[in-house]
Chain A
Amino acid sequence: MVSAIFILAIGLGAAFLLGLLRDTWRGLAYALTLAALAAMSWIAGSWLVALAGGLGPVEIRTAGFAPPFAIALRMGLPEAALSLLISLTGLLSAVYMRGTLMRLGRRAMAVLLIAVMALVGIVLTRDAFNLFVFLELTVIATGGLVLLSADPRALGAGFKYLVVAQVISILLLVGVIFAYHATGSLNIDDMAAANLVTLKGGAIAFFLMFVAVVAELKPFPANGWALDIYESAHPAFSAILSAALSAAALIAADKMLSIGGPEWLPVASSLGLVSFLGANILALAQDNDRRLLGYSSIGQVGLVLVVLGQRDILGASTPFIAGGLLLAHAVAKAGFYWLSGLVQGRSLMDWTALRGHPVLIFAFVTFVALLLGLPPFPGFYAKWGLVHALAADGRYLVLGLILLGSLIESGYLMRWFGYIIKRPQVDLPPLPSLSKRAVVLTAVAAGWALGWIWGEISGYPNLLLSIPLLFALGFLFIEWLPAWVKNLVAIAGLGAWFWYTFPGYDPLHLIYAAIILVGGAVILVASFDAKGRRVGFYPPAMLMYAGLSMLILAQDSFAFFAAWEYLTIGSYFLILRGKKSEPHALSYILFSLGGAFAILAGLALGAQGVLPFDVADLAKAPARLAPWIFALLAIGFMTKTAAIGLHIWLPGAHAEAETDVSPMVSGILLKAGLFGLTLLLMIMGKQSLYGIELTYVMLWIGALSALVGNLLAAFQEDAKRLLAYSSIGQMGYALFGLAMMNHLGWLMALMFVINHYIYKSMLFLSVGGVAKRTGTRDMYRMGGLITLMPLSFIAVLIGIIAVSGVPPLSGFGGRWIFYNAIMSSEYRLPMVLIFLSGPIAFLYLFRLIHTIFLGQLKDEHRKLKEAPLWLILPQMLYVAFLLGFAVVPGLALRHVDAYISEFFPAHALIWDDITITSTFGYWSPISIMVVVGCIFAVLFLWLLVLNHRAQKVKQFNIVYSAERPFRPETTHFAWNFFAPYRKALGFMTLPLVTRFWQAQTDLLHSTAQVSRRFYTGNGQTYAVHMLAFAVAVYLIWMGS
């Protein structure tokens, strides 16, 4: 194998060689540059392969002497990986900058080579002074490369950088010489072995070196200079700065920490946390893309520094975790900067240019997922390990701050993505350059490859290799097919997976599986209505279904959480597809990710470092932690069911989604939260925190959700929003049922699971069909559509009877079980709210059917047709199923009933042939149906006999104060339908929760707006920041 020192030698040599070439031979110079970078990459790559294959780290002694008499280099696995990263980034950036380099000639190329060489040198060297030299070389090279930019402001930025770099170099040099004085060696390992920090003057020497190296990480807040460079430099250089320089600086910091020993780890952690949180908060206020990415870089590097600072508990897994985060960051950020070079404007909105370029959008999504640590990327494995280690060791503050920072980070990245997809497109198309796009796509490929690698070495089954995920990803490759073909494939896939996994389900899981897979397939029937190719629909939809179907199969906590993330991401993209859904999709993903973090923290607390961790082992959680685990998980799951307080994302998200997406995210996706809650309660049972029983709290939350959801639904003018609020209420009922923790409560909850899927999917489809025809979702703009859209009307009619719980349809079964359940419950007071919310459902249901289908038909609607066949078809299936389920609920429920008896033996139902008997009462669905049917038929026949000649009269043939109205608008009583009710109970609909969350985000944003003034733009101020930072580090060190 070629010695690693040749990486440096080639870089240096080629740079010299470039100087010998004639300035006009630019093509040759460029080829030489590329060849050198490729050779460097190849050497680093071959080392990486060899080291990964089991070779131990290799020490390289220059000049043939052992340290301290000569400089030593070391090539170990981390060094090889980072060398490869750096030289590849350099190579790709060189390809990317072809035009600029050719214009500026060989000098620029030489500087680029020196930069890459110096960065690799920082990685490899084990000598403190040599580190200084390479750092200074980096500074000089950076100073040169900043000038590659076409942006005239880069000049100022470069100078500021040099000013700060001078300050840093003074600190470092003084530190190095005193460290040498104390230990007699410049070798880092010797310094560590001599225990530098305990020697006389050694501590202060180390402090100076440490501050200087950490300063290279551009720590918040002493980083104004770096941000200016990020903003103004050539994007390909920013890519090097963000990916390669950060990586090099981090490994330098790691070397320093190896000298500093355990007492400096907390300092590193604190600095990292401040950087991670501060940079992410300030990024919220940015509207320049590159500056925002710069902030994000600083935040990510801070996070890796935290990981390095936690090495005392991470131990041998430190490289895996730090590496996962660092590589994910590097690839994503380099990719982002390269992508930013394709975008012609610098505002975040200018990225709307990417729209219509699915490949670039996919690249963007990949980079965001890499940064946020979403599965299946390395950051996911890394965060998983990190959080578990922190939780096991009780470092809750660090854990909490990391999760908070991640949430803020996802806030601005997801918001940006929303802009790209939804904001008005700017008239600046992305640059057509093929080579630049190829570079971006290389980063994408590298990201996925890293995901695969991290999956392989994680010790878990590789997330990338699960069949449902591969199926979903497969849709990326058939995006060019027409929608109906993809739809067929999707339906077939869901059906096949159900068939394949069917034998493995117990009755409880079977219900969820049937809803997700079979139910999902039924909703997809409506998707046949879509025309064209429908690009961007199937991959996320199938990702959501993949997540859902993996969720119910998950045994260990890792698989469970990964599935949870999949379904969250998939549904986010789905929701975002709606016309006006940008803000709602954002609030959905933020609440969901917040909830996911709560789940992650809960699982980590439960696992206590034991991995892999079977979810069922949550039952064995230590009593001290159990209630906290329970609370965290419950909050996470309740975010998904939109329990009151965490519900504000739902109405917009469900209402603005596309016609066939609304039933998916309402009818199916909400069940994920219920599934989680079911598992949680089944495993952990009742828990008390400070003497308060948590299930009792959940009971109240469920009841309040039911009440507020129903009440708000009654006041909506928008039909889909009405249905969305109704979902909040329905989920409240289900939560209430589960929280009752008795047999019938659970049965009721599961009945709600089935019923809610059916009627909410059906109602969303019919209302969606109506909205499609009328062009509005405002109910007061509709009216009298019954004769034009009779099938939709029937679906809504059956739907509202079922929702309201009026016999003889299946909703009544839910109510009957509910009453039996509360009879055996020990709680009374929360029932009051449930009783109150029950009749309120009638308000919104009547409004829904009346203002759309009854009343006066509008003139502009006179020629409307029935909703499209593909939308009607699933509705009719649902109608048939609802009627069937109403008559024979036992088909599904008695198995579940028997299954629940394993957990709650008391109060099981008795399923005789036609009558269902509980401890308290009885219910005979078939008899009810027959009796009601007979009475109805007899009376109907009688009326027919009496009035068989009745003919339909014209619309305005009504008695109206002796006048005849001729305008439907004035006669259709629909707007503000429940005005008196608003007078009476409107105070309960004040948007207090929305205001609360709004205040939180406003607070963050104003903090960001105010604190960013700190970066005055003056280079001297930045230098003062740097010195102040050094003093602050000193104080932290003294304090710790």
Chain B
Amino acid sequence: MTLVTLAIATGFALVLIGLLGALTDRNILRMIVAFTIANTGVNLVLIGVGMLPGRTAPILDEAVSVAQAAARIVDPVPQALVLTAIVIGLGVTALMLAYALRLHQTRHSLDIRTFTELKW
């Protein structure tokens, strides 16, 4: 098993674990944590997909000159994407936590099952 496959497999495993947690755990804080795990998994998959074995990070400095770049570095796009995804994931997580806080303040509960007054 190559490193790439391992990374992608681990990523998907994290996604599944995260989703399983988010869908089965009733506590909304733990749900949020589960989603961060899933997000991490997705990020891992992103990296894994962009990974080319034996190449270096896409940073042009003394080690890698512009002329060699195309042959030496891994695909930089997924890495850029991962950065963005992490930022966005952070934003969403923060928002969810803020919600959790407000929910706890107003309803004194963190159980997702208690917020079902809107239905049908």
Give the shortest distance, in Å, between A191 (CB) and chain B (any CB).
14
Give complex CA distance A177, B107 in Å: 40
A249 at the interface (CB under 8 A from B): no
Whether A173 contacts B112 by the Cβ 8 Å rule is no
Give complex CA distance A1012, B119 in Å: 8
Within 8 A of A (CB), among B30-71: 31, 35, 38-39, 42, 45-46, 49-50
Give complex CA distance A158, B78 in Å: 31
Give complex CA distance A162, B28 in Å: 11
- The residue on B at minimum CB distance from A165 is B92
A1024 at the interface (CB under 8 A from B): yes
Whether B99 contacts A1017 by the Cβ 8 Å rule is no
Chain B: number of interface residues, binned into ranges: 35 or more
Whether B99 contacts A143 by the Cβ 8 Å rule is yes
Name A139's contact: one of B35, B77, B92 (CB within 8 Å).
B92
Whether B42 contacts A173 by the Cβ 8 Å rule is yes
Give complex CA distance A1027, B38 in Å: 15
Give the shortest distance, in Å, between A282 (CB) and chain B (any CB).
9
Whether A166 touches B22, Cβ cut-off 8 Å, given contacts A140-B92, A159-B28, A1019-B112, is yes
A190 at the interface (CB under 8 A from B): no
Whether B118 contacts A153 by the Cβ 8 Å rule is yes
Q: How many A-B residue pairs have CB under 8 A?
A: 124
Chain A residues, CB < 8 A from B92: 136, 139-140, 143, 162, 165-166, 169
A433 at the interface (CB under 8 A from B): no
Give complex CA distance A566, B30 in Å: 58
Type the 1/0 row for A217-235, where 1 means its CB is closer than 8 Å to any CB of B: 0000000100110011000
Chain A residues, CB < 8 A from B15: 170, 174
Chain A residues, CB < 8 A from B102: 147, 155
Whether B81 contacts A177 by the Cβ 8 Å rule is yes
Whether B103 contacts A155 by the Cβ 8 Å rule is yes
Give complex CA distance A638, B9 in Å: 65
Give the interface centre of A152, A231, A1012, A1019 by most chain B CB atoms within 10 Å.
A1019
Whether A140 touches B96, Cβ cut-off 8 Å, given contacts A167-B19, A174-B45, is no
Whether A160 contacts B119 by the Cβ 8 Å rule is no
B100 at the interface (CB under 8 A from A): yes
A351 at the interface (CB under 8 A from B): no
Chain A residues, CB < 8 A from B78: 177, 180
Give the shortest distance, in Å, between B50 (CB) and chain A (any CB).
8
Name B118's contact: one of A140, A165, A231 (CB within 8 Å).
A231
Whether A162 touches B96, Cβ cut-off 8 Å, given contacts A155-B106, A173-B85, is yes
Name B22's contact: one of A139, A143, A1015, A1023 (CB within 8 Å).
A1023
Whether A166 touches B49, Cβ cut-off 8 Å, given contacts A1015-B119, A1017-B119, is no
Chain A residues, CB < 8 A from B45: 174, 177
Whether A1015 touches B120, Cβ cut-off 8 Å, given contacts A159-B99, A169-B92, is yes
A39 at the interface (CB under 8 A from B): no
Type the 1/0 row for A997-1033, where 1 means its CB is closer than 8 Å to any CB of B: 0000000000000001101111110011001000000
Within 8 A of B (CB), among A118-170: 129, 133, 136-137, 139-140, 143-144, 147, 152-153, 155-160, 162-163, 165-167, 169-170
Chain A residues, CB < 8 A from B95: 140, 143-144, 162
Give the interface centre of A147, A156, A1015 by most chain B CB atoms within 10 Å.
A156
Whether A159 contacts B85 by the Cβ 8 Å rule is no
Type the 1/0 row for B75-108, where 1 means its CB is closer than 8 Å to any CB of A: 0011001001100100110011001101100110
Give complex CA distance A317, B36 in Å: 45
Whether A1017 contacts B115 by the Cβ 8 Å rule is yes
Give the shortest distance, in Å, between B16 (CB) and chain A (any CB).
10
Whether A159 touches B115, Cβ cut-off 8 Å, given contacts A133-B88, A139-B92, is yes
B2 at the interface (CB under 8 A from A): no
Chain B residues, CB < 8 A from A1023: 22-23
Whether A163 touches B117, Cβ cut-off 8 Å, given contacts A155-B99, A170-B39, is no
Give complex CA distance A1013, B103 in Å: 24
Give complex CA distance A956, B120 in Å: 65
Give the shortest distance, in Å, between B35 (CB) and chain A (any CB).
5
Given A167-B19, A1020-B112, 10 other A-B residues pairs in contact with their CB atoms under 8 A: A143-B95, A152-B106, A155-B99, A163-B22, A165-B92, A169-B92, A177-B50, A180-B49, A180-B78, A227-B118
Q: Please give the residue numbers on chain B whose beta carbons come within 8 Å of chain A beta carbons, in ascending order.
A: 15, 19, 22-24, 26, 28, 31, 35, 38-39, 42, 45-46, 49-50, 77-78, 81, 84-85, 88, 91-92, 95-96, 99-100, 102-103, 106-107, 112-113, 115-120
